[in-house]
């Protein structure tokens, strides 16, 4: 299993301390997983990935900004609306690998292309962890009432991919990448 996926899975299972467990921090959760996998800190990742993205302070579209950065860095594997609960599921499962970053967002001036696209304008980000107990799953920090939490109820969830939002971008960290 990819190290980012391993860390994300341990984090949602509450086997690793220090992860943000209040809702609304999907980017911080994902960046902390990546930082630990690559022995760095998430603040360095923020600066490296988001330097060229002008964040909109009025809307705090952080996940959307990271999605744009993934595209600019050419880390995007695909940029198509794929509903993991619909007909696109098999195609999506052929594309994604454990450790991939899954995004769901809508551009500010465009209506959502699918009813399952993340409803807020900030977008959403999760880490695909592969199959857990035979079910393709993502690790996420979410406000949504879905997935399974471990220990006490928190925003850190292990969510079946079929219950997740429409995937608008799949991002993959290149194999030789170093922060």
Q: Judge whether 153 lies within some domain.
A: yes
**pLDDT of the residue at 107:** 57
Whole-prediction pTM: 0.86
Q: Decide if 84 contacts 140 (C-beta within 8 A).
A: no
Q: Using one digit for the tens of pLDDT, what is the confidence trace for 58-79?
A: 444 588 888 888 888 888 888 7
Q: Judge whether 39 lies within some domain.
A: yes
Q: Using one digit for the tens of pLDDT, what is the confidence trace for 117-150?
A: 455 567 899 999 999 999 999 999 998 888 887 7
Q: Using one digit for the tens of pLDDT, what is the confidence trace for 5-34?
A: 999 999 999 999 999 888 889 999 999 999
What's the domain range around 97? 3-171
Q: Decide if 33 contacts 7 (C-beta within 8 A).
A: yes
Total of domains in the chain: 1
**pLDDT of the residue at 130:** 97
Q: Judge whether 64 lies within some domain.
A: yes
Q: Judge whether 63 lies within some domain.
A: yes
Q: Judge whether 178 lies within some domain.
A: no
Instruction: Provide the 10 A C-beta neighbour count for residue 125.
Output: 29
């Amino acid at each position: 299993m990819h190290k980012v996926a391993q860390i994300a899975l341990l984090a949602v299972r509450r086997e690793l301390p220090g992860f943000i467990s209040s809702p609304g921090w999907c980017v911080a959760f994902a960046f902390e997983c990546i930082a630990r996998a690559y022995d760095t800190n998430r603040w360095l990742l923020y600066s490296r990935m988001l330097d060229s993205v002008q964040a909109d302070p009025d809307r705090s579209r952080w996940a959307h900004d990271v999605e744009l950065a993934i595209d600019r860095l050419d880390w995007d594997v695909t940029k198509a609306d794929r509903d993991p609960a619909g007909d696109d599921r098999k195609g999506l499962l052929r594309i994604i690998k454990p450790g991939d970053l899954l995004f769901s967002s809508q551009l500010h001036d465009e209506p959502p292309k699918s009813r399952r696209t993340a409803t807020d304008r900030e977008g959403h980000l999760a880490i695909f962890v592969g199959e857990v107990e035979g079910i393709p799953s993502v690790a996420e920090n979410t406000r949504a009432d879905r997935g399974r939490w471990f220990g006490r109820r928190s925003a850190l969830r292990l969510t079946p991919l079929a219950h997740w939002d429409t995937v608008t971008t799949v991002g993959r960290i290149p194999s030789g990448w170093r922060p």
